[in-house]
Each structure stands twice: as structure tokens, then as C-alpha cells.
Amino acid sequence: MAQVVVVTSGKGGVGKTTSSAAFATGLAQRGKKTVVIDFDVGLRNLDLIMGVERRVVFDIVNVISGEARLNQALIRDKRVDTLSILPASQTRDKDALTKEGVQKIIEELSAEFDYILCDSPAGIEKGALLALYFADQAIVVTNPEVSSVRDSDRILGVLQSRSKRAEEKKDPVKEHLLVTRFDPARVERGEMLKLEDIQEILSIPLLGVIPESESVLKASNTGTPVIMDSESAAGQAYADAVARFLGEEKPHRFLEPEKKGLFKRLFGGRAA
């Protein structure tokens, strides 16, 4: 049986798709058979971040409506052979997704894959509810910022009341906190919520901290999941988070401001 993992946040623009792409690629790089599903019907973007936008023929809505078989819609990644992508539809709206349709797809994928990652759309409407409904685990992506923390708290409430596990009174969905766009220098200046404060408020286990990094935009420009940029702080932080997700002990890194030399202090230069 595959583990179903939802990547969610409530708020938009915090890094759900970036994190989904990085996590799916990281799990696949470690030999886990992984599929990542884009649930953002109407606003598909995972295909771009994964660099497969030119290979999309069929999508999740085609599969649900019986216009295509699941195997026809799955895109096999050319870089990591244990990784597949199921794109969202760009033309239909969210009503095209049904609980029964999604259930059938997840059951079919379960037979073939170890991990099924569900990249949730923002909000708490149908698409987001279906993305989290079948989850065994949830990665809650949060920025160190008031509206993001509040929405994460809200989505945790939804996971605890409206997921399949909650409805059937099974063991609860296992929750993980992933803090993204973290800027240690601003935290030090008292301009950004501290990591401990976010943890204290949301009180779920910390999976990883991804530092604010220019490499994330660069990676999305070229359609390469940022975890493949093993030189960058963000790439390394995602790799650590994947290792922790698989049960390894890894100390958290990139929590302190980079010590700048005199040259950098005078002439600038930012984190990679």
C-alpha cells in the first residue's frame, strides 16, 4: 500500500508546488516509486515546475471522466526513472473532480507506487478538500508570516475534522511542518517570526526549514525541481527534509544568518 501525502497550506504562494516538486523528486532519487498529482484544476503549474509542460497530453480530469486511461495520463520523469507526474486539467473547473473519481485513481496508483504526493490548491474549497481527503500524512507548508501561520492552523483543523481518517475515526493524519522562505537575518533583526514561535503556535513536529533563496526562482525558470540543485541552500534543505521524512536523523541547517566577510558586507551579495 502506498502512503498518500498531501502538501497543503491554506494560503497561496507559500511554496506548495515548489515543495511538492522537490519532495517528489527527493523521494524518487532515494529509490522510492513516487507519483505527484496536481490537484489545482484550472490553474495547473506543477507541470511547469517539474519541466514537463510540453509532454502533457491527458490530465486527471480526462482520467476521471473516462476519456483516458491512468497510464496514458502519467508522465514519466526523464531525470529520475522512479518518478511520475499526473497533471491537472487547465481547461476544466474544480467541479470536474469527484471523490469517487479521485479514490479510484489513488487505489490504482497504490498498487504501483510507494508514495502518492498530492499537491493541493490554495484555499479550503473542493480541490483542496479532495487533495487532503485520502491523506495518511500531511506536509503543511508555512511562511514565517501572520496570514500564512493562521491559514496553516485552519488547514490543520480541516485535516483533523474532514479527512477520510477523521471521518472514519482512524489514526489521525500524521502532520509535518515545513517552514519555507525563512530568512535568518530578518529573524535576528526581530522582523520575522522565530522558528520556535511558529512551532509553539502550530505545535506540530518540524520536518524542515527552507531558507529564502534565489535558487528557487532560478530552478522554476528552467523547470528543474530545486532539490536537484545540490549546491544551493534550499536544495540541501529539501534533501535534509526528505531524509527526515524517511526517518533519518538530520540536524536543521541554515537557521543562522550567513556570516559575511568584510568584502561581502561592503559590496553586497546574497544567499545562493
Partner 1 sequence: MSWIDFFRGKRKEESSASAAKERLQIVLAHERIGRTREDFLPKLQQELVAVVARYVAIDPGKVNVNLDRGGDMSTLAIEIELPAPAAMRMAANAR
For residues 28 and 129, give the distance between their C-alpha atoms in angstroms, rounded to a whole number.
26
Residue keyed to cell 499526473:
86
139 binds partner 1 (CB under 8 A): no
Stretch that binds partner 1, among 61-69, 91-99, 152-160, 250-258 (CB under 8 A): 152-160
Q: At residue 103, what is the residue type?
A: Q
Which residues from 192-231 bind partner 1, rule CB under 8 A?
192-194, 197, 201
Asked whether the beta carbons of 128 and 8 are under 8 A apart, the reply is: yes
Residue 268: C-alpha distances to residues 153, 188, 239, 262, 264 (Å): 37, 18, 28, 10, 5
Does residue 33 contact residue 112 with C-beta atoms inside 8 Å? yes
Residue 14 is assigned to a ligand binding site: yes
Nearer to partner 1, 112 or 145 (CB): 145
Residue 141 binds to partner 1 (criterion: CB under 8 A): no
CB of 154 to partner 1, least distance (A): 7
Strand order in the sheet with 3-8: 75-76, 83-86, 34-38, 115-119, 3-8, 137-142, 174-182, 206-211
Binding mask 158-197 for partner 1 (x = CB under 8 A): ---x-------------------------x-xxxxxx--x
Query: 13: annotated binding-site residue?
Result: yes
Binding track over 41-80 against partner 1, x by CB under 8 A:
----------------------------------------
Q: Is 157 annotated as a binding residue?
A: no
Annotation: binding site: 11-18
Annotation: binding site for ATP: 11-18
